């Protein structure tokens, strides 16, 4: 099954609305109306900028995502933003279960699965983030952790949903640290994730894009992206400059 390579930039809590618009314009200036080499590019700004970046990208091939969603559609939930709102603003993607949400906002594996379901139900593609902490890595528990995090997502989503689901393998110890697993390690784990999805839903697993994330930079992106089971990258800090993000999208793969 062919999988369109995907480069996603997670800005986290960076950039105002005006800065976000300027970034989107800059990306179009640099690359034209479409990402290079038939790849897909997704910019994932803070909520306040989602609509503005969608407007800026109108008529281009660039996509927008949100960094989180809250459950439900509408209601008395002060401060909440639903998948319905994100989709209506024009975004196609939403990150669920980023390790910072798990760590700082107490999101459990089950909540993450519920969010993936809500995203899918609203027509969005969830980017489901999974990954082990450093102590779990040191204890050799990486596969166990990935299986545990994936299980409720596999249980809750219908098999057909997986055509649209993206999984990002992000070792927590690699996020924002400058440390990375070897490309072979990351690829092995991407293969492990694909096998787990295959066991649950069969052939559709071949359509799921699996990204590597954690200290991806212009200097190392090629080594990860070139691996057989890695279909792209979820980039944090190194995506904050449009010029760098544009260059990453154009790296040749062997
Ligand atoms: P980083 O973040 O590239 O800054 O390590 C990646 C992420 O958290 O998605």
Residue 212 sits in a domain whose CATH number is: 3.20.20.70
pLDDT confidence of residue 128: 98
For the segment 21-50, the average pLDDT, to the nearest whole number, is 98
Determine the angle formed by the axes of helices 47-57 and 17-31, rounding to 10 degrees: 30
| Residue 245: Cβ-neighbour burial (10 angstroms; 0-12, 13-18, 19+) | buried
Q: How far is the CA of 170 from the centre of ligand 1 (A)?
A: 8
- Backbone φ and ψ for 209, nearest 5 degrees, come out as -85, 130
Among 216, 217, 218, the mutation site with the greatest number of ligand 1 atoms within 8 A of its Cβ is 216
Q: Which two tokens stand for residue 89?
A: 């603003």
pLDDT category, 1, cuts 50, 70, 90? Answer: confident
Instruction: Tell me how many degrees the CA angle 201-203-209 measures, rounded to the nearest 5.
Output: 85
pLDDT confidence of residue 230: 98
> Is residue 254 in some structural domain?
no
Q: Which two tokens stand for residue 96?
A: 């669920």
**Atom 1 in ligand 1: which residue has the minimum CA distance?**
236
Q: How far is the CA of 76 from the centre of ligand 1 (A)?
A: 33
Q: Which residues are catalytic?
A: 98, 170
> Is residue 30 in some structural domain?
yes
> Is residue 73 in some structural domain?
yes
pLDDT category, 194, cuts 50, 70, 90? Answer: very high
List of residues 6+ apart from 207 with CB closer than 8 A: 1, 3, 162, 163
Q: Is the CB of 235 under 6 A from ligand 1?
A: yes
Question: Range of 88's domain?
Answer: 6-249
Q: Hey, how many other C-beta atoms are within 10 angstroms of the C-beta on 106?
A: 8
Tell whether the model's pLDDT for residue 253 goes beyond 90.
no
pLDDT confidence of residue 87: 98
| Residue 155: Cβ-neighbour burial (10 angstroms; 0-12, 13-18, 19+) | exposed
Tell whether the model's pLDDT for residue 167 goes beyond 90.
yes
Q: How far is the CA of 2 from the centre of ligand 1 (A)?
A: 26
> Is residue 83 in some structural domain?
yes
Determine the angle formed by the axes of helices 142-156 and 109-121, rounding to 10 degrees: 40
Q: Which two tokens stand for residue 112?
A: 């993450």
pLDDT digits (tens, 9 = 90+) for 121-134: 999 999 999 999 99
> Is residue 145 in some structural domain?
yes
Q: Is the CB of 213 under 6 A from ligand 1?
A: yes
pLDDT confidence of residue 73: 96
> Is residue 1 in some structural domain?
no
For the segment 68-91, the average pLDDT, to the nearest whole number, is 97
E-assigned strand segments in 78-187 = 93-96, 125-130, 166-169
Looking at the structure of the chain, the number of domains it has is 1
> Is residue 181 in some structural domain?
yes
The residues facing 175 across adjacent strands are none
Report the distance separating Cα 35 and Cα 25, nearest Å.
13
For the segment 76-88, the average pLDDT, to the nearest whole number, is 98
Q: Is the CB of 216 under 6 A from ligand 1?
A: yes
pLDDT confidence of residue 254: 66
pLDDT confidence of residue 79: 96
Q: Which two tokens stand for residue 240?
A: 């904050």
**Atom 6 in ligand 1: which residue has the minimum CA distance?**
236
Task: Tell me how long the chain is.
Answer: 254
Tell whether the model's pLDDT for residue 110 goes beyond 80.
yes
pLDDT confidence of residue 52: 98
């Amino acid at each position: 099954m062919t999988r369109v390579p995907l480069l996603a930039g997670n800005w986290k809590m960076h950039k105002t609305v005006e800065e976000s618009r300027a970034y989107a314009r800059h990306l179009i200036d640099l690359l034209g109306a479409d990402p290079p080499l038939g790849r897909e590019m997704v910019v994932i700004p803070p909520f306040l900028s989602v609509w503005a970046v969608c407007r800026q990208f109108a008529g281009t091939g660039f996509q927008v995502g949100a960094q989180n969603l809250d459950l439900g559609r509408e209601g008395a939930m002060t401060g909440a933003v639903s998948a319905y709102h994100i989709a209506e603003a024009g975004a196609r993607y939403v990150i669920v279960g980023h390790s910072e949400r798990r760590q700082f906002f107490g999101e459990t594996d089950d909540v993450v699965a519920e969010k993936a379901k809500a995203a899918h139900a609203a027509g969005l593609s969830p980017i489901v983030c999974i990954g082990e902490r450093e102590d779990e890595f040191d204890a050799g528990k990486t596969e166990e952790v990935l299986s545990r995090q994936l299980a409720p997502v596999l249980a809750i989503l219908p098999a057909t949903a997986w055509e649209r689901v993206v999984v990002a393998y992000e070792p927590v110890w690699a996020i924002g640290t400058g440390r990375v697993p070897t490309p072979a390690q990351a690829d092995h784990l991407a293969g492990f994730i694909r096998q787990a999805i295959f066991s649950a839903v069969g052939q559709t697993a071949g359509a799921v894009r699996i990204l590597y994330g954690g200290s991806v930079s212009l200097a190392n992106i090629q080594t990860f992206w070139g691996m057989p089971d890695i279909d792209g990258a979820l980039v944090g800090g190194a995506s904050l400059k449009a010029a760098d993000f544009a260059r990453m999208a154009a790296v040749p793969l062997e």
